[in-house]
Amino acid sequence: MPTPADPPTPESVPVPERLPAVGHRLDLLDESGRPVTVIRLKDGTIELHVEGTTTVLDATSARSLGMLASGHFLVRPELLARADAVLGGLELDWVTVPAGGPAVGRSIAELEFRKRTGVTIVAILRGSVPVVDPDPHQRLEAGDELVVACRAEERAALERFLAGTG
């Protein structure tokens, strides 16, 4: 892993690691070179691990931190909690189409994602090219990142479906 002072290269940019049935893990270095591990659990909770100390952020606080860190926009935590109550747990998330899975080479319409899993595909990230509001005839490729609107149980159903196990 590069030191914090090294200029980023495509190979040095940290990439989240998928933790099946748990969430995602991202290993970083702080500016002094200490390892920092961030784990995003499937319920939206964030665990920050630094030198044997763990800090846990609830899902609302984790989203607020993520928005602040990304620089996109800041939403007060009470507004996020209200949105959660109104939307009933609806989330925007992404799932990778696995190589060799049953979805590769097939269209969104052919796969009937919404009917089979309850998930709505909002966009597809194919490398650096976003396909926003994809046409139902859009065929999927291995490695595509599907941006989806769903609830946690629907996301789990989608992951099983993409893996060919459900």
Residue whose C-alpha is closest to residue 57's, from 40, 81, 72? 40
Burial environment of residue 104 by CB neighbours within 10 A (0 to 12, 13 to 18, 19 or more): middle
Q: Residue 99: what pLDDT?
A: 92
Q: Residue 73: what pLDDT?
A: 53
Regions of the chain with pLDDT less than 70: 1-13, 67-77, 80, 83
Distance CA(22)–CA(90), nearest Å, equals: 19
Q: Residue 78: what pLDDT?
A: 73
Q: Residue 75: what pLDDT?
A: 56
Q: Residue 164: what pLDDT?
A: 87
Distance CA(45)–CA(109), nearest Å, equals: 33
